Amino acid sequence: MSEMDTKVQGSAQPEVQEAAPSENKPKRDFTTGPLCLSGRGVTRVFGTGDKKKVAVDHVDFDFHEGEFVSIVGESGSGKTTLSKMLLGLLNVSEGEILFQGKPRDISTRAKKNEYWKGIQAIFQDPFASYNTFHKIDAVLLDCINMRGGKHLPYEKKVEMMTEACSFVNLKFAELTNKYPFELSGGQMQRLMIARIFLLKPKILLADEPTSMVDACSRATILDMLLSLRDEIGMTIIFITHDIGLAYYISDTVYIMEHGKFVEFGKADEVILNPKAPYTKRLISDVPKIHEPWDLDTVVEELA
Amino acid sequence: MGKVMLEVKNLKTKYITRFGEDVYSVDGVSLKIEEGKSLGIAGESGCGKSTLALSMMGYYFAPLHYTSGDIIIDGKNISGMDPDKVRTTILGSEIAYIPQAAMNALNPTMKIIRFIEDVIHAHNPKASKKEIRELAEERFAELGLGKEVLDRHAVELSGGMKQRTVIAVSTILSPKVLIADEPSSALDVTSQKMVIRMMRELMEKGYIKSMMFITHELPLLYNVTDDIAVMYAGQLVEYGTAKEMVFDPIHPYSHGLMGSILVPEEGTRGMNLTAIPGTPPNLKRPPQGCRFAERCKYAKPECFYTAPAERMFGENGTRMHRCLMSEDQLRDIYSKENGGAQA
């Protein structure tokens, strides 16, 4: 019991860190750690014959432990298909995904559940991420049970939930007996991060978690993700279409076009010196503050 | 100083809930748009941006109700007008409105030309189909959409094309004011750019006289509009030209907003993002003092019981902010903060 106590107290520190999370950000280089998730020739094909559509086309990637990776692309580029394959929600048509250096095996339900202890996700739409019939306590209790805390006394569980909520600036006492739909979008998304805090997975896959919240709550959520990374040391795979956001937050950026990675590398290299024409186009199409926005050169879209 | 196209004076509108409570979503907003100018409205969701747009059109259907204030479009006061009359005489010809999901407004069973006929017939029932087609073909060609779009159905067009088509249809009568409510936030960056370019063309070619652009994306506003107004909890908290607002924000709320801009440019990575904690106040019972006081880092005790008035400042007195502290005091605080961070 005493061990548990010290652990809880020890990890209550991020509250203090949160005030200035960006100060300790560029301390460590996360791009050279041990491999966490990698893919070799990962492909996904939808349909057959004339209707065959290759959504993800032989992509290779290496995500390291503790790395903040962004996958940037426009809609229809295959970002979401790739993320579903990473999560094991979609089968891989060709190629393989390696989890911590070993080929991933999710052939049975039990193995899948085991894999999901290592990888978790936050989705775009917080309103669609919760079961409307479950209270917030139930959502968080589920996470504790999943981490093997099923037989802990209830007070201990409450303590853990309170800690997780205070990590994301929510008050657990106010949340008990509430249903998810009684919260605002930003609060719901923060509660999602509280879930991740309790689950402590190896990998977090965040699929546009900030596109449905406001600019000022966005800053809070991004800072929380960064401090969560520093706290648990997990890999974060951040899927977005906002190249400015990807540049701000990530160590490594992968640019995706029509199911292929056209460019990848360290954020500074990719964004400030783009090589691929697609990356150049993406960057030039985004409105900027210090440079003029060139409206005249537009690649005509297909009608 | 150009001719004032749209003027709103101390506009107040409210929603009435099912329980009979009044929610003042737009509470004393005054603004002006001159000919050839565009105004951007920024603010977080729920602050009343869209309600302001609906109120300015005179489009009052329950639960939205008009309370007081004037809306003057090109010298004509439309406040308190019957909404059905507004629909046939004002909408389309004086003011055009593009909602966020405009592309979902297209009936999939109708060809694009039929929407244009609808719009024109609402104002001029005698217009012949041939006249309408000629006008539409000319306008679509000028805006780079192509005549063939007119004979297509909505499902044959991509998202960006649909959005541009809707803009072209809604401005077919050359309205004086175009109100665009997040016209590009559901689109890719490339389609967004094309929508913005088309709106610029509309302005340059004189099909619309002035524009109001509502979005929460600040880099976009900075590039598109001449002036920016920041809205919080039903009130405008600051107003100025785009450049002044982005580089020299005064009100603590707009300061926070401008601090959260993310663009793919050098220097973004090392930046400290400003997060504004908390949630906006409940407008059923608006706070007695400054509406932002609860979330404001710099709030003093008097902020909680004294409501700040609009304070004009700047070279010609063209900028406005709504804070108890003066602009110089606030600038001082910000520069000290920046200095502290660097040291």
Residue A20 has pLDDT above 50, yes or no: no
Residue-range domains of chain A with CATH: 31-284 (3.40.50.300)
Element (H, E) at B244: helix B242-247
Contact yes or no for B268 and A215 at CB 8 A: no
Query: Could you tell me which residues come within 8 angstroms of residue A186 by beta carbon, excluding any fewer than 6 positions away?
Result: A213, A214, A217, A220, A221, B279
Q: Which residue from B minimizes the CA distance to A76?
A: B188
Give residue A22's pLDDT: 45
Dump pLDDT digits (tens) for B41-91. Answer: 998 877 888 889 888 888 888 788 899 999 998 888 888 788 888 888 888
Mean pLDDT of chain B: 87
Residue with tokens 């900027």: A288
Q: Which residues of A touch B273 (CB under 8 A)?
A: 22, 219, 222-223, 248
Asked if B274 and A219 count as a contact pair (C-beta separation under 8 A), the reply is yes
| Residue B271's pLDDT band (cuts 50, 70, 90) | confident
Check residues A205 and A27 and name the one with the higher pLDDT.
A205
Measure B222 CA to nearest chain A CA, in Å: 7
Residue A186 is predicted with a pLDDT of 81
B341 at A interface, C-beta within 8 A = no
Closest by Cα among B107, B215, B220 to B165: B107
Residues 6+ apart with CB under 8 A from B312: B318, B319, B320
Measured between beta carbons, the chain B residues lying within 8 angstroms of A268 are 269
Diameter of chain A by CA atoms?
Answer: 67
Among chain B residues, CA nearest to A168:
B277
| R_g of chain B, CA atoms, integer Å | 21
- Answer whether B218 sits within 8 Å of A215, measured CB to CB: yes
Tell me the residues of chain B between 48 and 107 that have a Cβ less than 8 Å away from chain A.
none
Range scoring the smallest mean pLDDT among B62-71, B144-153, B265-274: B265-274
Query: Which pLDDT score is estimated for B189?
Result: 83
Confidence (pLDDT) at A70: 93
Would you say residue B157 has pLDDT above 90? no
Cα of B76 to nearest chain A Cα, Å: 35
**Shortest distance, CA B72 to any CA of chain A (angstroms):** 32
Stretch B168-177: mean pLDDT: 90
- Percentage of residues of chain B with pLDDT beyond 90: 28
- What does the pLDDT look like over B187-231, one tens digit per residue? 888 888 888 989 988 999 989 999 999 988 888 899 989 999 999
Strand partners, B6: B33, B73
Asked if residue A19 has pLDDT above 80, the reply is: no
Residue the block writes with tokens 């559940």? A113
**Domains in chain B, CATH or no CATH each:** 4-229 (3.40.50.300), 259-342 (no CATH)
Cα torsion B221, B222, B225, B229 to 10°: value is: 70
> What is residue A14's predicted lDDT score, i.e. its pLDDT?
39
Does residue B207 sit at the A interface (CB-CB below 8 Å)? no
pLDDT tens digits, one per residue of B289-303? 899 998 888 889 999
Q: What is the count of residue pairs from A and B with beta carbons less than 8 Å apart?
A: 126
| pLDDT at residue A28, as a whole number | 64
Average pLDDT over residues A253-268: 91
